[in-house]
Amino acid sequence: MRMVDSINRIICKTSKLVDYFTEDGLIKQIGLTKEYWNRVIIKEIVDNALDAIEPLNNKEVHIIQSDSSLGIYDNGNGISCEIIKSIYDFNFYVSQNRIYVTASRGKQGNGLKTIISICFLKKYRLLWHTNEGIILEGIIDAEKAKNGKICVDFKQIGTTEKKGIEICGYELHQSAYYKNYVYFYTVCNPDVTFHLDYLGIEFHNPATAECVDKSQNISLAYYDYDTFKQFITDTQDGNSTYKKFLEEYFGTRIKNKSGIKSKIKDIDFNSQEFINDFLMLKEDQQTKKYTLLKKQLIGLENVLNTSIEMEDSNSLISKSDMVIPCIVEFSVKKDTFKGDTNRKEADIECYINNSITYNNSWSIGFDGGWYKIGNKTVYARDLDDLLKDMSNFSFVFHIVSPYLKFTDAGKTRIDITSFFNELLEKLNKAIAKENRLFSSDNKRTNNRAVMRDYVTDAFNMASDNGRYAITARQIWYKMREISGIEEKKHTYADFTQEILTEWIDDNPEYEDKVNFSDRGNFFVDGSQNGLGTANVRNFINTIGTSQNIFKCYGGISSNIHIEPDFDLIYKYDKVLYIEKTGFDAIFKAEKVGEKYNMIIVSGQGFSTRAAKTLLYKFQQMGLKLYCLHDLDISGIYILDSFGTPNKKFKECINMENLGVTLEDVEKYHIEPEKVDIKQEDKKKLKNLSYEYRRFFDAGTSYRRVELNAFTTAEILEILENKLSAINNLPTINLEESLNVDHKAIRETAFMRIMAEKYREQLDKIHVPIDLSAYKGKYTVDMAKEEIPDIEERLIEKYEREIAQKLNIS
């Protein structure tokens, strides 16, 4: 390019960081020896380009290697000449993002300074393609640099349509060198399109995911106390308010949570008020601390949510409040590698915050020691030590966190000791899963046997070792995660109906912790309850707590009233189980439960453990149980299943058949429908009585009549014919059960007399009520707390007025 005379002045600085411009000094700065510096150039410039395009809906990075230069460009807004000149001041950081504690690729402010230093020491020319459309070169005086003085002469070299950095004299490598970088960056940035132009030959790696803006990952939960103070002072004018600052960076909801209304300049950052406000706001975000980090994920199969403790012994707050969220995602793949006899070590890829690492698996370190991995025990200090002997495995790791511990000044090696044991446990489970998938004969082991082996581990993981109540589905998800079982047609049903049921029988102390989802409803005392284990358990625990009396209430404050407090056996003598939900709503509308003193339980096909537990409790209380079902093969078996103990439920439940019966079909002239008969139905059909076999069997199909074939009037008539004459409710002895509260009755009688005697005088008394003091927005809880006090104050006003007007002392 032709040199163009520059009108820019020469900038000279005596730098406190002159070590940037000696080989030994720069090695200390970046933690890597000279032979790695070309890698540093590519990584730092690509990282800078990715940061620049992060908010865009279309992200592109171009890498162009010619005979004489390497150019890395992007489709972002570019960098200005003014910013470039400020970067050459080695006394200061320049990055505008350095104050944000986010899961970024770096943003420490010294990445581009490092590029300047490497180019100076390796005698490369560094050309900046600016957003003003000009190419700018900063020429450092080498002689003055030896004496600790950095003098830069800025020259304009020409014009450009590109935005990025060009390095003239950069060593020419094989195309595979650049392709590797493009591949690795594509893996950890699936929403970016990478273009490689190598000596005129073009390669394109298109984006494989929708663009995600990760630049907005600013969360109060990421900050430690001291960094948060620094963030405020670095970004805010002292005259702006603290709430305005919170709204700008963290949103309206966080702003409204804060109790501090002061201007920034008036806040005592070391006061307990500010510390408590910071901790309160941070705690408010703890439930969502991983939400923003999830934007960074690249889609690997296994995900570990963990945290890193900040290292700061001088902080004014507790160390327990200085934990930073971290997510580790990884994949484990096993292959036989039959054709690759030269492969001696595992294939390991490591990424951090959507960027590559300088030393791949050597970059991820932890406390040295002996660790069990797979079926081996190895001495390891980093992921390379740990995994390299697993030659038939491929691993990909991605660590996402706004704070990482480093073990070297150049920040090339991070320390994961604080969560390594968590990662190792999850990693071993993933390896075990892959080994099962690739057994010696490459066949899957029996699913039920695998589930039995892992159900305890799955329960412990889902419940935090029995600490929390959980759903059966939560256990199932952990089961799939650690066992490798895939959810297919019958696997979940096998797990819940057989494996988990057996496990609960063997571990009865945990039965209250495992909740099966609602599969139906039951109606008691006018309320609808979901037919799941938690609701059934809670309901059964309330039975027998009533006193079997009519309670009398009232007195000075209200009229007398009497409410019943009776056990269910005084209200109900029947229970109807119906195999379909939907009819229960009809029965509720028609008040069927009240008419027949009947509890209605509706299921979905075959009864669940929760349904049987509830029905057996009713049976023990002496209630009569009835079953209303379809007239089909399953319907007959549903009725029979109640009376047949099995692994899922060991008690016998006696149910009376309420229909649909053969007689009902004949009486109402219902035409049976024909449906395809399944293999399992053929087996069931053989075990039915001759009468049922004759009705159901239609050769290649079978007949059935569903409840839905009847009108509502016909269903109600069936119930009336079979239930109207049955009434087994116990009688109530009012002499014993009516609880007479003489004080309540006496005070109620007195209030009636007084109200009648002074009615005319009371009607004339009126006290103005001013509620303006209560103007404002109340939450429900705040209103509930305030209203009784308001009510008492209003009554006191009238008491004083009435006492005065009626001369009552």
Within a domain: 306: yes
* Per-residue model confidence (pLDDT) at position 7: 36
Please say which residue of 498, 513, 528 terminates a domain. 513
147 and 35 fall within a common domain: yes
Averaged over 80-109, what is the pLDDT?
Answer: 69
Rounded percentage of the chain residues whose pLDDT exceeds 70: 89
| Triad 744, 747, 750: Cα angle to 5° | 150
Structure token pair of residue 535: 């609701």
Read off the pLDDT band of 537 (50, 70, 90): confident
Say which residue, 256 or 186, is predicted with more confidence.
Answer: 186
Helix (H) or strand (E) holding 470: strand 470-471
Rounded percentage of the chain residues whose pLDDT exceeds 90: 25
pTM of the entire structure? 0.56
Cβ neighbours for 225, distance < 8 A, ≥ 6 positions apart: 275, 278, 315, 316, 317, 321, 322
CA distance between the termini of the chain: 107
197 and 277 fall within a common domain: no
Within a domain: 681: no
662 and 780 fall within a common domain: no
* Per-residue model confidence (pLDDT) at position 498: 78
Please say which residue of 205, 230, 259 terminates a domain. 205
* Per-residue model confidence (pLDDT) at position 107: 44
- Beta-strand (E) ranges in 130-241? 134-140, 149-159, 164-168, 192-198, 201-205
Structure token pair of residue 705: 């009549």
Q: Give the long-range contacts of residues 797-804, CB within 8 A, separation 24 or more.
A: 797/767, 797/769, 798/765, 798/767, 801/765, 801/767, 802/762, 802/765
Contact call for residues 550 and 732 (beta carbons, < 8 A): no
Per-residue pLDDT at 604 exceeds 80:
no
Range of the domain at 267: 220-288
Within a domain: 232: yes
pLDDT digits (tens, 9 = 90+) for 768-809: 888 888 877 778 888 888 888 888 888 888 888 888 888 876
Task: Specify the range with the lowest mean pLDDT, choosing from 132-141, 178-187, 552-561, 643-652.
Answer: 552-561
Within a domain: 212: no
Read off the pLDDT band of 504 (50, 70, 90): confident
469 and 574 fall within a common domain: no
Nearest partner of 600 among 671, 701, 656, 521, judged by Cα: 521
527 and 563 fall within a common domain: yes
Within a domain: 93: yes
* Per-residue model confidence (pLDDT) at position 353: 92
Q: What's the 3-state SS for 680-748? A: HHHHHHHCCCHHHHHHHEECCEEEEECHHHCCHHHHHHHHHHHHCCCCCCCCCCHHHHEECCHHHHHHH
Average pLDDT, the chain: 83
Within a domain: 687: no
Amino acid (one-letter) located at 123: K
565 and 485 fall within a common domain: no
Q: What is the CATH number of the domain that holds 96?
A: 3.30.565
* Per-residue model confidence (pLDDT) at position 602: 83
Per-residue pLDDT at 2 exceeds 70:
no
Contact call for residues 95 and 105 (beta carbons, < 8 A): no
Rounded to a whole number of angstroms, the CA Rg of the chain reads 38
Task: Specify the range with the lowest mean pLDDT, choosing from 48-52, 74-78, 120-124, 643-647.
Answer: 643-647
Contact call for residues 658 and 628 (beta carbons, < 8 A): yes
55 and 190 fall within a common domain: yes
136 and 181 fall within a common domain: yes
pLDDT digits (tens, 9 = 90+) for 670-712: 999 988 887 777 778 877 888 888 888 887 788 889 988 999 9
* Per-residue model confidence (pLDDT) at position 15: 45
505 and 525 fall within a common domain: no
Helix (H) or strand (E) holding 382: strand 376-382
Structure token pair of residue 260: 């501090």
* Per-residue model confidence (pLDDT) at position 606: 59
Within a domain: 753: no
Contact call for residues 110 and 88 (beta carbons, < 8 A): no
* Per-residue model confidence (pLDDT) at position 80: 92
397 and 527 fall within a common domain: no
pLDDT digits (tens, 9 = 90+) for 285-299: 776 778 888 889 999
237 and 312 fall within a common domain: no
Within a domain: 696: no
Read off the pLDDT band of 253 (50, 70, 90): confident
Per-residue pLDDT at 441 exceeds 60:
no
186 and 139 fall within a common domain: yes
Q: How many domains does the chain have?
A: 6
Please say which residue of 288, 308, 342 terminates a domain. 288
